[in-house]
């Protein structure tokens, strides 16, 4: 049962939707969704001292929170369920598996399994049948613009991981600030005349841009790209050696995958990364060390303020976005070890 929610997460959920939709509980308490409570939204970075956070906010917490945001603004069951299920195909270490699949620029390589996982779940299928809902109405949240839309628009998914990362992972906001931001949001019409979450107050929209621009850099900065690629490469080597399979990444808890890594010959390397305080960077290719040298997906938000992009009506917000987008990802990033 999804009942062991941390107090802090519960308080956060109450901001997103004060009246929790009880009908959602049966869907949450299905085997496939409950397995998401053992995966951290930080793509494994939570396990290294390179990062300041040790708060475990799970992939399930994120999915429930996205569903609550959608329900709060639409009161539409199908849209809400599309949000709840959008990460049901998330494996251990989340987007690290996209790095493993060579998809570090889009980070969408695991989404194809969503429909399959839902269709193969007797529990979920029986609930959908009872509620007269088709799989095609809930297995792709991209069809609902409030749930998901293209960067740099604001959707429930993008809003949620911004708020929870700012609150729990990187301590950029407190609960009161989250409340102020969230309560200023309403559904507006964007430049393409589609519905989108937007802000009523310029100052709050600008503050949101400040926080999300900082987060945007964290998601792709040197330490993050290095960590995600290192985890991906260790998993690839273990896979090549027959010690772990792709299937395992969907069926094991993150802690169980870490146990496999720590009982392998990559234990020392993994522990050096876990205890590292800072990565090294160089413009030149370093010799005889494992390094990472590529870009990553750029996640940023240019939200609506009264139906127009904040960047168009606020020079300060525009400058923050420009500074964020100019972050340099051309360095070689490394620690002092090889991956053999």
Distance CA 275, CA 54 (A): 13
CA-based torsion, 244, 249, 251, 255: positive or negative:
positive
Tell me what percent of the chain is helix, strand and coil, each rounded to the nearest 5.
Answer: 55, 5, 40
Residue 255 CB contacts under 8 Å (≥ 6 apart), including other chains: 38
Token pair listed for 154: 């604001």
Please state which of the ranges 67-81, 87-101, 155-169 shows the lowest mean pLDDT: 87-101
| b/e map 26-38, b = 16+ CB within 10 Å | ebbebebbebbbb
Helix (H, G, I), strand (E, B) or coil at 197: strand
Give the mean pLDDT of 155-176. 97
Helix (H, G, I), strand (E, B) or coil at 334: strand
Angle between helices 202-220 and 222-240 (to 10 degrees): 40
Please write the tens of the pLDDT for every residue from 203-242.
Answer: 999 999 999 999 999 999 999 999 999 998 999 899 889 9
Residue 53 has phi, psi (to 5 degrees) of -95, 145
Give the mean pLDDT of 26-46. 95
Determine if residue 190 is left, alpha or beta; phi over 0 gives left, psi from -120 to 50 gives alpha, anything else beta.
beta
The whole-number pLDDT of residue 210 equals 98
pLDDT band at 49 (very low <50, low <70, confident <90, very high): very high
Task: Please report which helix (H) or strand (E) contains residue 96, including its range.
Answer: helix 96-100
pLDDT band at 72 (very low <50, low <70, confident <90, very high): very high
Extended beta strands in the chain, E state: 185-189, 195-199, 280-282, 291-292, 304-305, 308-309, 332-334
Q: What is the pTM of this model?
A: 0.94
Please write the tens of the pLDDT for every residue from 115-141.
Answer: 999 999 999 999 999 999 999 999 999
The whole-number pLDDT of residue 113 equals 86
Q: How many Cβ atoms from other residues are within 10 Å of residue 167's Cβ?
A: 22
Longest CA pairwise span in the chain (Å): 61
Fold for 1-340, please state it: Hypothetical protein af1432 (1.10.3210)
Give the mean pLDDT of 189-201. 97
The answer to whether 24 and 138 have CB atoms below 8 angstroms apart is no
CA 148 to chain centre: 13
- The residue extents of the domains of the chain are 1-340
Per cent of the chain over pLDDT 70 is 95
The whole-number pLDDT of residue 106 equals 55
The whole-number pLDDT of residue 42 equals 93
């Amino acid at each position: 049962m999804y009942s062991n929610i941390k107090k802090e997460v519960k308080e956060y959920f109450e901001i997103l939707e004060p009246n929790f939709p009880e009908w959602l509980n049966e869907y949450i308490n299905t085997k496939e969704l409950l397995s998401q409570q053992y995966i951290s939204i930080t793509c494994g970075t939570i396990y290294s001292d390179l990062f300041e956070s040790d708060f475990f906010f799970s992939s399930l917490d994120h999915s429930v929170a996205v569903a609550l945001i959608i329900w709060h603004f639409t009161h539409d069951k199908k849209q809400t369920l599309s949000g709840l299920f959008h990460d049901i195909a998330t494996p251990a270490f989340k987007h690290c598996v996209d790095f493993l699949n060579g998809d570090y620029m889009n980070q969408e390589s695991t989404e194809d399994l969503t429909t399959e996982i839902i269709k193969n779940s007797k529990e979920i299928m029986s609930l959908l049948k009872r509620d007269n809902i088709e799989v095609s109405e809930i297995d792709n949240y991209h069809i609902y613009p409030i749930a998901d839309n293209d960067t740099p628009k604001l959707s429930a998914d993008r809003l949620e991981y911004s708020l929870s990362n700012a609150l729990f992972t990187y301590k950029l906001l407190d609960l009161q600030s989250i409340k102020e931001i969230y309560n200023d949001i309403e559904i507006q019409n964007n430049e393409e005349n589609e519905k989108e979450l937007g802000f009523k107050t310029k100052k709050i929209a600008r503050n949101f841009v400040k926080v999300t621009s900082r987060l945007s850099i964290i998601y792709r900065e040197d330490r993050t790209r290095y960590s995600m690629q290192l985890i991906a490469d260790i998993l690839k080597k273990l896979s090549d050696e027959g010690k772990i399979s792709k299937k395992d990444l969907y069926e094991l808890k993150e802690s169980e995958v870490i146990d496999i890594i720590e009982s392998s010959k990559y234990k020392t390397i993994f522990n050096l990364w876990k205890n590292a305080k800072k990565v090294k960077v160089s413009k030149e290719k370093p010799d005889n060390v494992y390094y990472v040298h590529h870009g990553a997906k750029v996640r940023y938000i240019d939200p609506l303020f009264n139906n127009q992009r904040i960047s168009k009506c606020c020079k300060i917000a525009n400058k923050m976005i420009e500074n964020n987008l100019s972050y340099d990802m051309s360095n070689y990033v490394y620690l002092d070890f090889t991956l053999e």
